Every structure is written in C-alpha cells, then in structure tokens.
Chains A and B, each alone.
Chain A
Amino acid sequence: MSATALLEVEDLSKQFGGFTALDSVSFRVAERERLGLIGPNGSGKSTLVNCLCGALRHQSGSVRFAGARVDGLPAHQRTRLGMARSFQLPKPFGSLSVAENIRIPLLYTVNARKGAHLDAAALERRCHELLELVGLAGKAMGRPRDLTQVEMRKLELARAMAAEPKLLIADEAMAGLSHNEVDDILALLHRLNEGGVTIILIEHIMRAVMSFSSRLVVLVAGRKIADGLPAEVVRNPDVVRAYLGE
C-alpha cells in the first residue's frame, strides 16, 4: 500500500450491546484512490461509514485521516477536515430550497476553514456551480420534496461536494436507480475523482462497483474478508461463499 495513505483504519471494532457489528476492521485508502466497499446486507458497511464520519463512536481501534487521529472528533469537525459523506437514504434539508441545501456546507465548512471566506456573491456562484455539476441548476429554487429519486441523490452528492472534501464516502448513492441513472451518477463520481477527490463507494450494484473501483474491500458479518483488485476479489472463494452460499 502507498505510504501516503489518506485514510488509515486500524482494528476498528463496534458493538451494539452484545452484537458485534464491526470486528477489528483495518484498511487504508490512498490519495485519489477509488475504493469499492461491498458486503451482504447487515455486514456492517453503513456502521463502518458512521464510525468513520463520527455519527457513531466505535469502541476500539483508530481512524487516522490525512495523518491525524480523528476518532474523538464530532462529525462536523471531521467534515471540516475534509471527510464528506452522502447518506444511504437521502437526508435533504426539507424546509430549505435546493440551493440553500448547498449553502449550509458552504457556510459551515468552507467558511469555517482558515483562510477561505466566501462573500455573498461567491456563495451564490459556488452554489450554482455545484448544482450545475450535478445537473440540478434548473431546480435551484425548488424544494427537495419536488425532486425525483435520482435528483435527490444528486443533491446529496452535491451537498457532500460543497464541503470541498478530500475524501468522499458515497453510501449506496445508486440504490434503486435505473441503468441510465446509475451511469449518470458513476460519470459524476469519475469526474470528481479526476478532480482529485478520493472516493469510497459503497454499493450493491456489482456492475457499478466493478467498473468504478480500482480496489475492492469486502465486509462480511463485520469482518474484512478480502481486499485487493476487483477482478481478483470477486474470484476469491471466501467472497463467493459469502455471496452465494456453499
């Protein structure tokens, strides 16, 4: 693995009462990498995301981001450091307009960092750029409830991108979307990656994961059972067994 890992997860464990959701998970993500994270339902993918982003506290192990430990930090500080996420079920700010949804991370992440301060005009411009990027510019004044499923997911991604992250964790950004819509989102993620953003893609749609990821990590029942090149991982007997049974 490269020496300049952006994210280093070491022996991460998380229990809910007596249930072990994550069991000593370790992996690294290099800068500008596209990591696919797969696993059957209930294997701990979303719990892992929540622990990485600070929505949940893990019991043991460590998370290092860009060289610094982030374990104890609340979620908003991790976002400010450059970890952004999209939610599996889109969580738009329903009472705000689509443009205002983007404005929140601009105000609270970009403007909260040292050095950068967007004035009113710059905020407006940046909102528009981001909505343009995901193809929602025409709906800027609309409410999130008037968006379609795919637009909602694009808004979710645009909001994560507004924080100008170094690492984007896309938690099932494509679940339930049609073939073409999946391609839409994949193209968007590729563009972001080319712009220098490291991406962790959590997905069930194998076609999407296989075409996007440069590396694959497989979680089964809270344990990492495989980590490597996608083509090799899907031939791994343990992975095949987990997905298809004996």
Chain B
Amino acid sequence: MRTRTFWLVAVLVGAAFFGLSLLAPNQYYFQAGYKVLQYVVLATAWNILGGYCGYVNFGSAAFFALGAYSTVALYKILPVPLPVLILIGGIVSGVVGLGMGYLTLRLRGAFFSIATLALAVVVQTLITNWDYVGGSRGAYIIRPMRVPILGHYIEYLYLIMVVLCVLAIGIARTIERSRLGYGFAAIRDDEQAAEAAGVPTLRLKLVATTLSGALMGMAGAPLPYYVTYLDPASGFNLAYAVNSIAMPLIGGMSSWLGPLIGALFLGSIQEYTTVAFSSSSGLNVLIVGVLLVSFVIVAPNGIVGLVESLRWRRR
C-alpha cells in the first residue's frame, strides 16, 4: 500500500471507529476507550525509538507527564483550546527528547536505558518541587461539562485521542517505508556498519528521540482534562513506562501494527481487571508481568511475529 493510501485508510478507519463508538450505551465506554487509545499512542511513540532504532527508553512516563504538565502550566496562564495544548505539549516533550538524545545517545544498550530512567526521576523531582503547577499537592483542572455538537466533554477527549492515534500510526507507518526507516533499521542492526554505509547515525537517532518524545507529550497533554486532578504520582505513574515497553513487546516491534495490537490487547485487559476486580489489588500490573514473561519466552517477536512465523510455516 502506498503511504498516501495508508493515511487515507487510517483516517477513514479512525472516523468509522469513532462513529461506531457513538453507539455506546453510556459514558463509561468513552472513559475506558480514552485510556486504551492513549496507550496506543504511547506504545507507537515508544516503538519509533525502541522498535525501529533499538534504543530502549525507560523514561516514557517523563515525556508523557511533561505533556500533561505543560497543559497544567498553560491552563493557569490563559485558556487555549485543547488542540493547541496538545501541540505545545508535543513541542515541550520533543525538545526534551532532543536534549536527552543529545546527552545520552553516545551510550548504548543498557546504559542508554538507565540514563532514560534517570531522566524520568530528575523530571519528576523537578515537577514535584515546582509549586506553580501544584507541586506534590497536585493541580485541579476544571473542564467544561459539554462541548458543542458532540455533547459530553469526554466524547470530545475521546475524539481527540482517536485523532492522535491516527496521527501516530500514520507517522510510524510513513517512517517504516521511507529512507528514514531504512536508516533506523540499519542503526538497530549495527551502528558501525550503518555509519560505513553513509547513515548519519547521530542525526537519525536525534530525529527518533525527538519524534518519539513529541508523540508521548501529545498523548499526555489532554490528561489533565481527562483526570481533572493531576499530581506527580499519577502523571509519572510507573504504569506508563512499563506499558509503553510491554505493549510493543507483546504486540511486536517490527512494524506499526505491533504496538497497536499490543496496546489494544493489554490496555483492554487492564481496564477490564481494574473494573471487574479492583484497581487497588494490583491485579492489572500482575497480568502485565505474567504476559510479558510468557511472551518473551514463547513469542519473542510478539503477536505479529508469531502470526508471521505461523503463516511462513504453512506455506
């Protein structure tokens, strides 16, 4: 499929998906759907750096929370429409991604991952001590009850997340089929050989960290409007960091489809267990852990890889 056709199909699928969602019997479905879709964006964003380039980022929560906190900060200065906030959240996290890349990309493997983890801790500490955005007390966001045309505000938030999903998946797929995607793959396989083949590895890695960070920030920007009360413990929740790694890993890291499948699958299970049992039991985290271990052993290339190898065998 040509890239342009893919974008068109993605937009149509997104629109159809949203249209179908409107049939949902009550608001809860939007509430739950938003959460799952948010993970689709996060997982897709993580995969641009982790799956395509092979750099495992443990600091997803920081980029996500930076997006959320730029919304909080702006909310206190002047009321701007949500799409603008998302754009700004994306820029903030993108710039931090660029900076992190510049500082850490000379590190490889586990050392890079540890550095990203450290970054997350540093950012969280800074935000916790920044009184303007509520510090450790947290911040309240008062969201409108209703929006024109759609009705409930949650439906608007849900629509925005659908749009972000289409955007993130479209970008991921465009990269895959482009010169950039080949360069990323070369970096993942062997950096020295990539340089010898003319690939400007440092520059490409910076593109990846910036893009990945920006998309994570965009996923986080609407969060304050979703939760209406944001504190560092929830914004920087470990679940974001763990899920954004676990979802591509379980879905498959080689293409855009993997993070999508992984996020839908894992996100839905988590939402189900949270509601069916209790959110405080930790059962949802246990499920992620068990699935992650099983997939690493049984299907190291994720669901997509598993299906591909089954199809290969049948031929």
Nearest opposing residue in chain A for B203, CB measure: A76
Q: How many of chain A's residues touch chain B, expressed as a range? A: 20 to 34
Any A CB within 8 A of the CB of B151: no
B-binding residues in A (CB < 8 A): 53-55, 74-77, 79-80, 84-85, 87, 91-96, 100, 103-105, 107-109, 111-112, 159-160, 162-163
CB within 8 Å of A: which B180-223 residues: 182-183, 185-186, 188-190, 192-202
B195 and A75 contacting across the interface, CB-CB below 8 Å: yes
A108 and B183 contacting across the interface, CB-CB below 8 Å: yes
Any A CB within 8 A of the CB of B254: yes
A residues less than 8 Å from B183 (CB atoms)? 104, 107-108
A96 and B189 contacting across the interface, CB-CB below 8 Å: yes
CB within 8 Å of A: which B237-288 residues: 254
Nearest opposing residue in chain A for B188, CB measure: A95
Inter-chain residue pair count (beta carbon < 8 A) = 86
B198 and A105 contacting across the interface, CB-CB below 8 Å: yes
Beyond A74-B202, A79-B196, A96-B186, 19 additional contacts (C-beta under 8 Å) are: A55-B195, A75-B195, A76-B194, A76-B196, A77-B200, A79-B195, A79-B197, A79-B198, A80-B198, A85-B196, A87-B193, A93-B186, A93-B190, A93-B194, A104-B197, A104-B198, A107-B182, A108-B198, A162-B197
B196 and A84 contacting across the interface, CB-CB below 8 Å: yes
CB distance from B178 to the nearest CB of A (A): 9
Nearest opposing residue in chain A for B201, CB measure: A76
B189 and A55 contacting across the interface, CB-CB below 8 Å: no
CB distance from B175 to the nearest CB of A (A): 14
Complex: how many Å from CA A49 to CA B277? 63
Given the known interface contacts A75-B195, A105-B197, the answer about A95 and B179 at a Cβ–Cβ threshold of 8 Å is: no
A93 and B192 contacting across the interface, CB-CB below 8 Å: no
Residue of A77, A93, A162 near B193 (CB, 8 A) is A93
Interface centre among A87, A91, A112 (most CB of B within 10 A): A91
Q: Mark B66-104, 1 if CB is under 8 A from A, else 0.
A: 000000000000000000000000000000000000000
B198 and A163 contacting across the interface, CB-CB below 8 Å: yes
Nearest opposing residue in chain A for B54, CB measure: A95
Nearest opposing residue in chain B for A79, CB measure: B198
Q: Mark B26-57, 1 if CB is under 8 A from A, else 0.
A: 00000000000000000000000000000000
B196 and A112 contacting across the interface, CB-CB below 8 Å: no
B189 and A93 contacting across the interface, CB-CB below 8 Å: yes
